Amino acid sequence: MNQLEQLKRHTTVVADTGNFRQLAQYAPRDATTNPSLILKAVQQAEYAPLLAETVAAHRGEPMDEVVDEVLVRFGREILKVVPGRVSTEVDARLSFDTAGTVARAHRLVALYEAAGIGRERVLVKIASTWEGIRAAEQLQREGIRCNLTLLFAFCQAVACGDAKVQLISPFVGRIYDWYKKAAGAGWDEAANAGANDPGVKSVRAIYNHYKRHGIATEVMGASFRNTGQIVALAGCDLLTISPELLASLQASDAALAPALDAAAAKKMDLAAVHYDEKAFRWALNEDAMASDKLAEGIRAFAADAVKLERLIEGLRR
């Protein structure tokens, strides 16, 4: 078996893309999108008619509603290819607005349901801010499943678990990027690879904590820079992987064994941890990497949302 086939024996493989025409060859169970991936997809010639058609069908409607129609249209197409779930992201500009996030999530789910797609096949992606976690907590009680994204700190994972969210997406590659940049010329790639990669270590700590304390929230490693990071997290509940790295795994016949073990984690001596709002905000503030990358991620997704709006506005003229 190639590495992708081997990985699927231990982990649910998810495709991280808005390019739904690439999906079938890798046979992932689920797919994830974000504003940047959707923006990238709609600028490709093969998807331009889909964007134009969606915009034309909703001409005259408020921009935020048209954007959600576009996001859901891509999600619907993805769900024709994958048998499981699609993650669709709430506007990053609502990352500190609990009520606004809840309202936008309601609209996204309603659009899917109006198209005949049950909410069990949709994960609403929300930034792992305190406000975002509170929104997800409310949505989960309503039966709307959430994927908490832009997760870099252990305190974010703990708060998500306490809120009983469906799934979290800790970002491996962006953690790696931060530590590599901070180390500068002193960075030793070999010493920080595989199990020693700082992003891998972060996900492993979260996974072990969840399994040790019986937290049902699914852990889905995300944002990978190389296949070594993926191999080092084999056994994680899910891993969402770009088409480029899926192709690399498919092209390799190297042996792959599980690196994470739920049964072993249950026996670990790990203390239970909980955060109220003040403790959460302090812990996040004290983690320079996490606070930097969370803010940067929100800004980047918000900027791409604006670019998508400008593209739509150009089509509406």
Pick the catalytic residue from 8, 80, 125, 211.
125
pLDDT of residue 313: 95
Sites in the chain below the pLDDT cut of 70 = none
Taking CA atoms, 298 is separated from 94, 173, 218, 226, 270, in Å, by: 9, 16, 22, 23, 31
Contact indicator for 107, 150 with CB cutoff of 8 Å:
no
Q: What is the pLDDT of residue 35?
A: 85
123 membership: H or E segment, kind and range: strand 122-127
- In this structure, are residues 191 and 209 in contact, taking their beta carbons and an 8 Å threshold? no
In angstroms, the CA 221 to CA 172 distance is 7
- Per-residue pLDDT, 247: 97
Task: Spell out a b/e string for 27-60, using b for 16 or more CB atoms within 10 Å of the CB, else e.
Answer: ebebbbbbbbbbbebbeeeebeebbeebbeebee
Give the DSSP letter string of 107-118. HHHHHHHHTT--
Query: What is the pLDDT, as a whole number, of residue 317?
Result: 81
**Domains of the chain by start residue, with CATH:** 3-309 (3.20.20.70)
Cα–Cα dist 187/251, whole Å: 29
Alpha helices in the chain (DSSP H): 3-8, 35-42, 48-57, 63-79, 98-114, 130-141, 154-162, 172-183, 198-212, 227-231, 243-251, 262-266, 277-286, 288-316
Distance CA(55)–CA(45), nearest Å, equals 16
Catalytic-residue membership of 201 = no
Residue 66 CB contacts under 8 Å (≥ 6 apart), including other chains: 54, 55, 58, 312, 316
| Spatial distance between the Cα atoms of 4 and 15, rounded to a whole number of angstroms | 12
**By the 8 A CB rule, do 4 and 241 touch?**
no
Q: What is the pTM of this model?
A: 0.97
Q: Are 110 and 72 in contact (CB under 8 A)?
A: no
The predicted pLDDT at position 151 comes to: 98
pLDDT at 83: 98
